[in-house]
Structure 1
């Protein structure tokens, strides 16, 4: 596995996981103990809490190449998994909880989390979601904002490729990414608005905050944003995925997209002004149907099969991925996701749930796939 090189921006990944009881498959609100165990083992920088006590988050440092990224992701998963097992629990990479009811009282004790619960009220009652966030180095916040314009038409396909949340609290939602649907109901989550300028984006954020539909105008949570605390473009539309190599392939794809978009912005292109309603409709279809079905090509303005959408995306980022030696890796990994032949995400959860174990079987598959990480870094995909 290769990647990185002169002029290639660093990237980092955050992954969120549910804590589940291996006997029942249900989520358990034990994040405080698990994070404390990780900290005591010397992994406090890699493992932290999240919005609910059912979740932990892992993070990598900035990485140049994919071999390093894979090693860091594996190490973080091992650290979090060991801390969970110390308390009789396991890590589960699913965008929504397969089994177990979400208790609104199980929100972590953080001022921002308490404020969000007070502001959004009943909308937060089942807000327990796990994502993969990809950060790509971009120190110019204005440039990062315009990069988001270029990413907007491709976000629905990313949603489909990462779709891994068909079940929620014991029920089949009928969707591939229920996590995306939950996020779409909030006025300040999901695809970002088109930003013709930094001033215009700031005005939009302030108005949304004045309407009390956003906590803080300086801290937006759109699915693409200039991170307010880090010099990165942050892409937040992906469900967490159970297989380590899928996480790596998705991160490489996102970096390729950001690199192509950076080049366009630097050439004076502020991005295609696709209507917000069109982007949200394409999001919804991607979240419902996943990567193997037809989706919406927002640039062409028509429906296309999922395989054609992926080929169009790979053609769009092909030069950037070829420069880092990542094109074949991404093509092989994500073509398998679209075909469904490798049992990726939502399709694999449903296949596991169709067995004699039912939804507990789906959780068992998720846990095994999540914790199947190498002892060392490794240079290849396996």
Structure 2
């Protein structure tokens, strides 16, 4: 398994996001090894870090800690801090926005400083004002899969549990200074796009590809070979990629969530090998369960998509590692993953911790807590 994480760059004084990715990445390129693990993202408020493939929880923990340290060093060298939150807690810093040579303010991006990549520019041209606040940070988990056909069928098996992964990882209650009332506002922003969110059910890779071609023909997807569904065969790597979680400021939480995802994929691969194509869950019911998880996280009721009944979200969360005891035990991850779920149900996901910090010191206090957790420093550090 491997992990990609996206982070915001924030001003340490105001806590506001800063469009300085170009400077930070240039700084990282001067550090041995950092240029291999850090890259740009859709906006210049963000950077992305990636691990190498890892076989054990300990290896992933070491890798993810190292890439976070490299990213934090590069950000600090430019007078900024690293903040792992699904959405910006506060708006953009007041200083002049960094722009590419010859780029005017907004540059067709509806005010958003877009990263320097043709795909990002194409997204702005295609989706227009929908991209105006599309600055979101995720955790993507890659798990090795035998082939792309299997990866599509694995997606069928994972579809019913994706809302619970959203609830466990929810870490975006604020958006530009406002409490949205949601645990994962990032999920809400993504759900308005026709090609984001849970993947459609598909009986084969060919069926999935035909659907992607139809959506791309309607200009609702950039390219049929690059769907952005929450479970997809990665277009370049021999993995199935799970994209629904918010990025976690807590390193241990990020590592354990990845281990849980790996176990779910391992269980699904076994089912596919036995000829099980996965349960048919209606798209409407699945989107409703997503919305409920995005609003409430692990509190209140969630939707049990196997029965169609409302059940406590905590019950769904506790059931997730229980259903994959075998793969967790085989990987040596059982104890750590169960402890992660118990801890999340007691303390709440990242959204609850953000709100607790904001009650004490307002949204800037939430940013300080996020930066401290992301960088592994004390919240009292200057």
TM-score (norm 2): 0.93
- For residues 98 and 139 of structure 1, the distance between their equivalents in structure 2, rounded to whole angstroms, comes to 40
Find the residue that maps to 2:89 and give its secondary structure. coil
Matched residue, 1:30: 20
Q: Indicate the SS of the match to 2:49.
A: strand
- 1:163-190 per-residue CA deviation (whole Å, 9 max, x = no partner) reads 0000001111110000000000000000
Matches of 1:311 and 1:208, distance apart in 2: 36
Residue of 358, 363, 368 corresponding to 1:359: 363
Residue 138, structure 1, aligned to residue 145, structure 2: yes
**Which residue is 1:378 aligned to?**
none
Separation in 2, partners of 1:252, 1:105: 34
In 2, the alpha carbon distance for the partners of 1:149 and 1:224 equals 9
Structure 1 equivalent of residue 9 of structure 2? 19
Check whether the contact 1:54–1:106 (CA below 8 A) recurs between aligned residues: yes
- The yes-or-no answer on 1:125 pairing with 2:132 is yes
Matched residues in 2 for 1:143 and 1:105: separation?
Answer: 38
Q: Which has the higher contact order (CA 8 A, sep 6+)?
A: 1
- Which SS does the other structure have where 1:333 is aligned? helix
Residue 194 of structure 2 corresponds to which residue in structure 1?
A: 187
d(CA) in 1 for partners of 2:313, 2:335? 19
1:304 paired with 2:294, answer no
- Residue 336 of structure 1 is matched in structure 2 by 343
Task: Tell me, yes or no, if structure 1 residue 226 matches structure 2 residue 233.
Answer: yes
1:31-73 Cα shifts (integer Å, max 9, x gaps): 0110111110121011111110000100000000110100000
2:208: which partner in 1?
A: 201
CA contact (8 A) 1:306 1:338 kept: no
Aligned partners of 2:290 and 2:112: how far apart in 1? 30
2:62 alignment counterpart: 71
SS of the counterpart of 2:236?
coil
Q: Secondary structure at the match of 1:85?
A: helix
Once the two structures are superposed, residues 267-302 of structure 1 have per-residue CA deviations (whole angstroms, 9 ceiling, x without a partner) of: 000000100111110000000000132111111211
Which residue of the partner structure matches residue 44 of structure 1? 35
Following superposition, the deviation at residue 105 of structure 1 comes to 3.9
Q: CA deviation at 1:314?
A: 1.7
Matched residue SS, 2:142: strand
Structure 1: 5+ residue stretches without partners: 1-10, 375-382
Q: Which of the residues 46, 51, 73 maps onto 1:55?
A: 46
Shift of 1:202: 1.3
1:307: how far off?
2.1
> How big is each residue's C-alpha offset from its partner over 1:109-137, in whole Å with a ceiling of 9 and x where there is no partner?
21110000000001000000000000001
Secondary structure of the 2:197 match is coil
CA contact (8 A) 2:112 2:131 kept: no
Q: What TM-score does the superposition give when structure 1 sets the normalisation length?
A: 0.93
Q: Deviations over 1:302-322 (max 9, x none)?
A: 111122112221221111101
Counterpart CA distance in 2 for 1:192 and 1:23 is 41
Equivalent residue, structure 1, for 2:101: none
Cα deviation digits, residues 201-249 of structure 1 (max 9, x gap): 1111011001100000010000000001100000000000001000001
- Assess, with a 3 A threshold, how the Cα gap between structure 1 residues 53 and 339 changes in structure 2: closer, same or farther: same
- CA-CA distance at 1:373 after TM superposition: 7.3
Give the length in aligned residue pairs. Answer: 361
CA separation in 1, counterparts of 2:227 and 2:166?
19
Q: What CA distance in whole angstroms lies between the structure 2 residues aligned with 1:282 and 1:162?
A: 15
Q: Is the 1:78–1:373 contact (alpha carbons within 8 Å) kept by the matching residues of 2?
A: no
Q: What SS class does the counterpart of residue 141 from structure 2 fall into?
A: strand
Counterpart for residue 90 of structure 1: 81
| 2:170 is aligned with 1:166 | no
Match of 2:161 in 1: 154
